[in-house]
Chain A
Amino acid sequence: MSTPSAPPPCPHLAAHRLSSRPLRFLRRCLRVRPLGRPEIRRDPRELPRCSPCAAASPSPSPRLYACLSCAAVFCPSHAASHASASAGPGHQIAVDVDRAELFCAACGDQVYDPDFDHAVFLAQSSSLLPSTSSTSPSPTPRKRRRVDYRAWAPDPAEFALMSSADPTTSASAAAPAGLRGLNNLGNTCFMNSVLQALLHAPPLRNYFLGDRHNRFLCPRRTPVRHRAAEADATKLACLACDLDEIYSAAFSGERMPYSPAKFLYSWWQHASNLASYEQQDAHEFFISILDHIHENIKDDQHKSHAQGHGDCCIAHRVFSGILRSDVTCTSCGFTSTTFEPCMDISLDLDVGDNTPFGVANTKPHVRNGERGLAGMNSKVSTLMRCLERFTRAERLDAEQKFFCERCGERQESLKQMSIRRLPLVSCFHIKRFEHSAVKKVSRKVDHCLQFPFSLDMAPYLSSSILRSRYGNRIFPAEASDADAVSELSSEFEIFAVITHSGKLEAGHYVTYLRLNNHWYKCDDAWVTRVEEHTVRTSQAYMLFYVQKTLYYKACERAAAV
């Protein structure tokens, strides 16, 4: 999915462009209604009518076009006759009065023109007041220097060198490096599953294997000060150091399962409220250790506002993205925008929207292929639908009326989320556990979730969401805003899936890892190789995707050593 590209014009549109004034001069004919809907400007009391229709029957047609050459108004059924009957060329192109879309009467089809879209875009931008953004943390659109992605493949000499040295490409290796079971220390499968996913997150793995946090040199380990509140004041636990130790153990080449006892001990020292021998939630654990790693190794100089920028610690650099939240007043169209950092995205499992013909959301997607899936179990959700649901405009409750600055009073509003900046690793948390505080019951949602192995996040970016909010107009190149993200950085590849099986209170977490194009199931100490369908049919609870440029896909080794 990319920025909209102008299709080649039909011959009538091309002729019109040559013969008449540039279409952008139509801008003064445009008026933008609240919420960004453009239309042809008209007198408030003027009611456009189709003249041939008015003669035949008094009922007005809902869709009216105005000829660009003579401003005659007609309905679709009389469009062709106007084009052929009019004297002189150029009467084929008309504009939809209510939607500001070009129509070719000769072709009988809607046509698109970049200049006209530019005019609409300018009309829309000038009608919007500058939206407010909260100051923390609002990232300035700084242009980060981007490096172009260039594919690289080894030449035969390099390939021979790599094959001889690297155990992962040699035919004798039974399994990729870093693959190692983790012993269950007593209800700790929640911890093991998250650790397995982190062990194989490429940026995190590279950080620790690249000795960026050396546990023997970490300053936190030195008991420089005693904290009186801590019982063991001399033992300062650094979770990053313990994670470093786990990386060393996992990639040591040793294949017997490893017991992450020290990590558990350190984590319990930090998160005392979660320190108990009982099944924990894997997602809660994930957020907890990221938080504590941040606390441990954040650079003190970058304290306050840098959290969103991700320069503070490796946890943020890898997982932190920025979400954009737009709240729009339905009465006047004023939009208030806030940005907030996020370490993962929690998605509701949308079960109700899944009819075979479902177009339940407001996004006008073409879904004609779904009829072929009518025989499928209707309880299948897909990750992309969950993301669509996450990024669609929701009408807030009447109780949550938003105070509109322009109107000066509380109004009903629409809220829409989008992704301002993607992290290196996207973690999606599927909300399978529903807790009702009122009824004091919790239940698990068992529905299966389909997820792709390659994911393009472009439709969920702020740039795409904003563009579709204003009618998907073709933006001219110089007018594209600083939010534009290059296409390459929105493609992701999956590398880990944490699944939950069983009931809410008595369940089991398992991690599936994708290494060298094979899937491995990490069930505590048991690491086995599984087929794709096992992963596809599992109950995904947390999904980990890494940016495609950081994902090394092993080539098929048919021709190798």
Chain B
Amino acid sequence: MSSSNDAPLSPRSQLALRCFEELLDCAVADVASECHRIARLGLDRSVDAEEEELRVWAARAAAGGDHHHPGGFGVAEEGGAGPGGGSKGGVDVFGQTHPAIAADVIECMNCGRPVVAGRFAPHLEKCMGKGRKARAKNTRSSTAGRTRSSNGIAASSYSPYSNAANTNRVNVPNGVTDGGCGTGGDHSSHVL
């Protein structure tokens, strides 16, 4: 390493420079020695595999981005940017379609009322008296007009129900079940 200016260095600067060069050489030799050992003893096989993986990944990511799969049977276009359904206008892997808000009716375990599945969580929140929103029993006026940011379902704002969102436990007869959620699961609120 030579200094950029032409003036001869003072002895002190020369000494400092030699010191630095020696330290640098030492550091480089340390790394070289370790890497040599790792390479010679075969410890870096995983690094080759990793690089290969990265190359494959880059190639496939680039290639895949150019394709546009038509919304055919069960194949989605891109990764999960839109809420509530991968292929617009398509079908899922079983050939089914689903509404933006799950339409199945569930019987609430807390109060026994039938609730639409897609709105079960907000109902349950009020029902159990959890969360910031459920304060007094007459919550209708306090929740009216409040909007929430969309989180995963197409119905963006959380609007109060047209039926009274009361948190009292009402003994509603188990009428509307519509076969439950179309599942074999047991949704009654019985205690086992």
Q: Which residues of A contact B (CB under 8 A)?
A: 1-2, 4-7, 59-60, 62-63, 96, 98-99, 101, 110, 112, 174-175, 179, 181, 183-189, 215-216, 218, 221, 223, 234-235, 241, 245, 248-249, 252, 254-259, 261-262, 264-265, 268-269, 272, 275-279, 364-367, 369-370, 372-373, 376, 380, 382, 384, 450, 452, 456, 458-459, 468, 471-472, 474, 499, 501-502, 505-510, 512, 520-521, 523-539
Contacts and interface: CB of A to CB of B under 8 A. Distances in A.
Interface residues of B, number: 92
Contacts of A529: 74-76, 93
A546 to B, nearest CB: 18
Contacts of B118: 183-186
A538 B191 contact: no
A96 B30 CA distance: 11
A265 B109 contact: yes
Contacts of A265: 109-110, 124, 128
B12 interface: no
B41 A364 contact: no
Contacts of A538: 79-80
B173 interface: no
29 contacts: A4-B41, A101-B37, A174-B95, A183-B104, A187-B151, A188-B121, A188-B152, A245-B186, A254-B184, A257-B102, A259-B106, A259-B120, A262-B109, A265-B124, A366-B39, A366-B44, A369-B51, A376-B58, A520-B93, A521-B76, A521-B79, A523-B80, A524-B84, A527-B93, A530-B79, A533-B61, A533-B64, A536-B57, A536-B61
B151 A537 contact: no
Contacts of B101: 184
Contacts of B182: 254, 256
A249 B184 contact: yes
Contacts of B83: 189, 508
Contacts of B158: 186, 277
B37 A472 contact: yes
Contacts of A7: 40-42
A184 B153 contact: yes
Contacts of A537: 61, 64-65, 79
A183 B181 contact: yes
B37 A471 contact: yes
Contacts of B25: 62-63
Contacts of B106: 259, 261
B19 to A, nearest CB: 11
